[in-house]
A and B are shown apart, each in its own frame.
Chain A
Amino acid sequence: MNTTWSRFNIASLVVGFAFLYLPIVLLVIYSFNESRLVTVWAGFSVKWYVSLFHNQSFIDAAWVTIRVGLFSATVATILGTLGALAMTRYTRFRGRLLFSAMIYAPLVMPEVITGLSMLLLFVAVGMDRGIWTITLAHITFSMCFVAVVVQSRLVTFDRSLEEAAMDLGATPVTTFFKVTLPVILPAVVSGWMLAFTLSLDDLVISSFTSGPGATTLPMRIYSQVRLGVTPEINAACTILIAIVTVGVIIASIANKQREVQRARDEQAAARN
């Protein structure tokens, strides 16, 4: 394999990464800006972080976001996993194709349409808009993502594990909780994390379905930006980026270590 770095390769790497990360790097740098003006550097400071933690409306919005995220991700994971099970287990029922298409459709549905239709529904049934309507809407769109993630794991799941459990006397319910769920758990957890992330950064659907007193962090940031970007927002975004980055790094390190350990175990097993 040719491993030399040609000029072209280096150039495309630099351009590509610059395209991806330049805006984020700028945002992070300016969050530490002393100056109130976003585009003028006036020295290093963490004062915007301090002021952020004294801004009650931001804290409230963050709290709403987290509650919506935790709750909607959990419910979406349960529903999405059940959907994925139905999809992989009952492969030959009438209208299966339609059913699977209906699970995938919301993935490509424009958010504006999803948001609007949810709004119309809530109005029609006379539901007061607030944190619960946001949560319901988030469950609706994120459960499809969970279903897709879990389904991809279930396709390779060895059904004979379940048969073995039942053969050994486990009822179908016990079999699910003692065998199926532990084996597919990594996929269920990634599904949950995906749903949580989606809920965390959703703006469009939340805007449609929120009501007075229920403002999520993205909504707060967006409304603030309309009055002008303050370094406080940069600070808020930097914190979000930091959380996501740390999460991703921890997840991938854990994953890598598991793989290395597994490979080592398998080699050791083959030797004796």
Chain B
Amino acid sequence: MKSLGSFRRKFAPWNDPEAKPFIAIENVTKKFADFTAVDDLSLNIYNREFFALLGASGCGKSTLLRMLAGFEEPTAGRILLDGQDMRGIPPYKRPVNMMFQSYALFPHMTVEANIAFGLKQDGMNKADIDTRVAEMIKLVKLERFVKRKPHQLSGGQRQRVALARAVAKRPKVLLLDEPLGALDKKLREETQFELMDLQMKLGLTFVVVTHDQEEAMTMADRIAVMDKGKVMQVATPAEVYEAPNSKFVADFIGNVNMFEGMTENVANGKIEIAVAPDNMLIRTDATKTCSVGQPVGFAIRPEKIRISRKQPADATFNSAYGEMWDIAYFGDMTVFHVKLDSGRIIKAASLNAMRTVEDPFGYDDKVWINFDTDAGIVLTA
């Protein structure tokens, strides 16, 4: 069997101009009195995609999900699901199901009855319901707990019941509101992979809302980074991380060192940026078209910065001198905080590939930092 990854790499309907979006969100605005929760937002989500809405609390991601489920109606704009306009269609008539953050399991029903609830509403006959419920219970490995009520289950088991209940009806789209938010870290990591596996097996479209960027990066085919009711960037996890389109996204996803400077030289596919406060010259591949004398930002991830005791061969650009200010050891990697002479702290991460290191960096060591011309990204927004 092929691993998920090999399939995932080939799965990219968003790059296909012929592909029709499964969920089309067109210029949707949602206002609550004076507060605009979702602001003229447009988004296409494709069939069988694992799509993540990522943002801090209050960015409008949950409101968007609730509009997909039918609990809220857009103030303006429209939502098409498989070509059908969803306006005015109540939640109980939509071919989507939702997994709630609180799980919202019916406390007076057993695991079995919870999973069967949606099927009963469809008027399915008893035998088919039993078969489907048994199938779902097997899928989420809850065979031992069918007769239990929600309060007799652990957090992880409740989460699986909620999931089984939500997918039992084979919805076209499964909406997940912070699906792993209530689990502890270890369980969360396991469950991430279970969710991805389930999505592949059932061939459903998943839309997940999360504030946890690691969760979004691990699970999703594409991520929409949201802020103040708007989508800042929609891209694959790798693109969002390596090629953020704005300072906001660069800063929101992962750790980043952000420099503000002025372009000095634009030629031969290279851009030179003068960072005045740090007296630094950055030479980088031109990832953006810029003119000379334009104020720009430059973002570089900590793991792309090298630290050395020796001065780099050419210290005229992409390098700076400072002292070791802080060392945070994480086991798999170490993050160094280097304080430049200008007072700025640079974060540099290095993988601990060896168990022991000869002459490791210590506090107050004088060190050089430097990075390659393709290590960072120029940001104009």
**Contacts A265-B151, A269-B157: A166 and B90 contacting too (C-beta < 8 A)?**
yes
A265 to chain B, nearest CB (A): 4
Give the interface segment out of A67-75, A109-117, A167-175.
A167-175
**Contacts A160-B104, A163-B104, A164-B104: A170 and B92 contacting too (C-beta < 8 A)?**
yes
Q: CA of A265 to CA of B148 in the docked complex: distance in angstroms?
A: 10
Q: CA of A72 to CA of B169 in the docked complex: distance in angstroms?
A: 43
A272 within 8 A of B: yes
Contact status A272-B90, CB under 8 Å: no
Could you count the A-B residue pairs with CB atoms below 8 Å apart for me: how many are there?
A: 73
Choose from A166, A171, A182, A269 the contact partner of B153 (Cβ within 8 Å).
A269
A-facing residues in B92-131 (Cβ within 8 Å): 92-93, 96-98, 100-102, 104-108, 117-118, 121-122
Contact status A166-B92, CB under 8 Å: yes
B91 within 8 A of A: yes
Choose from A160, A161, A167, A269 the contact partner of B92 (Cβ within 8 Å).
A167
Q: Which residues of A contact B165 (CB under 8 A)?
A: 164, 168
A108 within 8 A of B: no
Binding site secondary structure of chain A: helix
A165 within 8 A of B: yes
Q: CA of A183 to CA of B100 in the docked complex: distance in angstroms?
A: 18
Contact status A167-B98, CB under 8 Å: yes
**Contacts A169-B169, A170-B92, A171-B92: A164 and B121 contacting too (C-beta < 8 A)?**
no
Contact status A183-B108, CB under 8 Å: yes
Chain A residue nearest to B66 in the complex (CB): A163
Contact status B153-A168, CB under 8 Å: no
Binding site secondary structure of chain B: loop
Q: CA of A171 to CA of B70 in the docked complex: distance in angstroms?
A: 13
Contact status A163-B91, CB under 8 Å: yes
B-facing residues in A143-194 (Cβ within 8 Å): 158, 160-161, 163-171, 174, 178-179, 182-183
A159 to chain B, nearest CB (A): 9
Q: CA of A260 to CA of B32 in the docked complex: distance in angstroms?
A: 44
B11 within 8 A of A: no
Q: Which residues of B contact A270 (CB under 8 A)?
A: 154
Q: CA of A265 to CA of B149 in the docked complex: distance in angstroms?
A: 9
Contact status B100-A163, CB under 8 Å: yes
Q: Which residues of B contact A165 (CB under 8 A)?
A: 106, 117
B152 within 8 A of A: yes
Chain B residue nearest to A161 in the complex (CB): B104
Q: Which residues of A contact B69 (CB under 8 A)?
A: 163, 167
A227 within 8 A of B: no
Choose from A168, A169, A170, A262 the contact partner of B151 (Cβ within 8 Å).
A262
| Chain B contacts to A: CB under 8 angstroms | 69-71, 90-93, 96-98, 100-102, 104-108, 117-118, 121-122, 148-149, 151-154, 157, 165, 169
